[in-house]
Amino acid sequence: MNERQEEARFRRRAVKVDDAMEMVIAAAVPGRRETVPLWEAGGRRLAESAAATTDWPPFARAGLDGFAVRSADTALASPGSPAMLRVVDAVAAGEIASADVAPGTAVRIMTGGAVPPGADAVVMLEQTADARLDGQAAVRVKSAARPGQNVAPRGEEFRRGSVFAGPGELLRPGHVALLGTFGYAAVPVYARPRVAVLATGAELLPVEAPLAPGRIRDSNSAMVAALIMQSGGVPVMLGRVPDEPEAAARAVADALARCDMLITTGGVSVGDYDVMATLLRGLGPVEAAAEGEAQQLQPQSRLSPQLPPDSRLLFNKAAMRPGAPTSAAVVSGRLLLALSGNPGACFVGFELFARPAIARLQGASPEQARPKQATAKLVGGFAKGSPHERFVRARLYAENGVLYADPLAFGKSSMLASIPSADGLIRLKPGASGAAEGEIVDVILL
């Protein structure tokens, strides 16, 4: 490594977490679309606007079982003096009455049935009694009906052509019902992004391998794959790349030729064998110079193996603990996110950057893609300060309407034990001390 490279390795400008998050979200542009059967559309994001193909309801519809009547014929009806109406037909849901409702008549109707012409109200069955009039079926109506009573008029909910869901809308079961109502047997949605997972580190063993001195099993790849699936993506497992920049460059190019996004784990720090740091070092301007010095541009080929010429670095250090070396770049128009090899830092980095990016690729708006936050009361306090914003794994619980955040033990970046129990990340501001017990803190909801 030449002197210029050695110096640049330690000069990495830390980008604030929120700024880094915005860069990642902006780089993750929704693209691929597909059409899925209606029953598979739930939980996906719509790729095109969906509109009503007819008025809804498409006809005046009875809201309950009873009798379709002319309200004027019941104006004087009461329990002691019911209106007597001749029954001329009976209509079930899905049928059409054979006769209009003329003055002095009624039609027996079931819930959802089409209200026949002439009728402007439906009287519930409980407010009527069967009768006979001149030897024919009749009904006694015991209360006056108002015009429009128990009738859903045509187009009450939707008019033909009205949009009920736009691009990027997360399709809930209610949306699926509407799509079925309006005949969408196939639904255009954003495709689940294919996210490649690539591990670095000569110390890594396959999960099924026995442990060996100085070696550990690759747990990060499986964890990241599970997080990708939880986020709606499709993981593409690429195994491990050697700690050789040329091999890493080929693996990155191959992964992004086949997938929508690439997540790597490990190799982003300042060690001699941190291959992803070496690979990204030559993209764009070199890392920040000392205060007062001007930044200079360095040709990519002088600092790292050649990535495609349209590659650009977003950031190679985030102002956060754990996971400060987390890096991101755009290679051939697709996002490369390089996470720390430490499991805790890898987990935090995924939640802050990868999950929002995967949501954005599926059509979520930038605002929808950002992590959901709340405020909580800190339990037990957290004494350790940090020059950068710190993200502490925590257990969240509510009591008497108050949300509490309890920092978990084993919270160091290299530790795994607290990851399964974490359902929130406490955001602690930079400072010489952490936060006191009972202090109100921001938390990211996992």
Domain boundaries, the chain: 3-32+191-369, 36-55+158-190, 61-152, 373-445
Of residues 361 and 413, more confidence is placed in 361
Q: What pLDDT is stored for residue 266 in this prediction?
A: 87
Q: What is the mean pLDDT of residues 42-59?
A: 97
Has residue 289 got a pLDDT over 70? Answer: no
Q: Which CATH architecture has domain 3-32+191-369?
A: 3-Layer(aba) Sandwich (3.40)
Q: What pLDDT is stored for residue 288 in this prediction?
A: 40
Q: What pLDDT is stored for residue 431 in this prediction?
A: 87
Comparing 8-12, 312-316, 317-321, 336-340, the range with the smallest average pLDDT is 8-12
* Interval 135-190: pLDDT, tens: 999 999 999 999 999 999 999 999 999 999 999 999 999 999 999 999 999 999 99
Has residue 225 got a pLDDT over 80? Answer: yes
Q: Which residues, in sequence order, are bridge partners of residue 395?
A: 406
Beta strands in 268-333 (DSSP E): 312-315, 320-321, 327-331
Q: What is the mean pLDDT of the chain?
A: 89
Q: What pLDDT is stored for residue 287 in this prediction?
A: 41
Whether the pTM exceeds 0.95: the reply is no
Q: What pLDDT is stored for residue 294 in this prediction?
A: 34
Contact 195, 262 (CB under 8 A): yes
Q: Which CATH number fits domain 36-55+158-190: 3.20.20.70, 1.20.1050.10, 2.70.70.10, 3.90.105.10?
A: 3.90.105.10
Please state, in angstroms and as integers, the Cα–Cα distance from residue 165 to each residue in 32, 174, 186, following that order: 19, 11, 15
Backbone angles phi, psi at 30, to 5 degrees: -60, 140
Query: How confident is residue 384, by pLDDT bands cut at 50, 70 and 90?
Result: confident
CATH code given to domain 61-152: 2.170.190.11
Query: How confident is residue 118, by pLDDT bands cut at 50, 70 and 90?
Result: very high
CA–CA distance, 418 with 422 (Å, rounded to integer): 6
Q: What pLDDT is stored for residue 245 in this prediction?
A: 84
The single-letter code of the amino acid at 96 is I
Query: How confident is residue 102, by pLDDT bands cut at 50, 70 and 90?
Result: very high
What is the full DSSP assignment across 182-238?
A: TT-SEEEEEPPPEEEEEEE-TTEE-TTSPP-TT-EE--HHHHHHHHHHHTT-EEEEE
Q: What pLDDT is stored for residue 410 in this prediction?
A: 73
Copy the structure tokens of residue 285.
């301007």
Top CATH class, 373-445: mainly beta
Has residue 257 got a pLDDT over 70? Answer: yes
Q: What is the mean pLDDT of residues 68-84?
A: 97
Q: What pLDDT is stored for residue 303 in this prediction?
A: 42
Give the residue from 169, 204, 131, 148 showing the smallest Cα distance to 51.
Answer: 169
Of residues 160 and 203, more confidence is placed in 160
Q: What is the mean pLDDT of residues 111-140?
A: 96
Q: What pLDDT is stored for residue 301 in this prediction?
A: 38
Cα 58–chain centre separation: 33
Please state, as a whole number, how many other Cβ atoms lie within 10 Å of the Cβ of residue 358: 28
Contact 193, 186 (CB under 8 A): no
* Interval 403-425: pLDDT, tens: 999 999 877 766 778 899 999 99
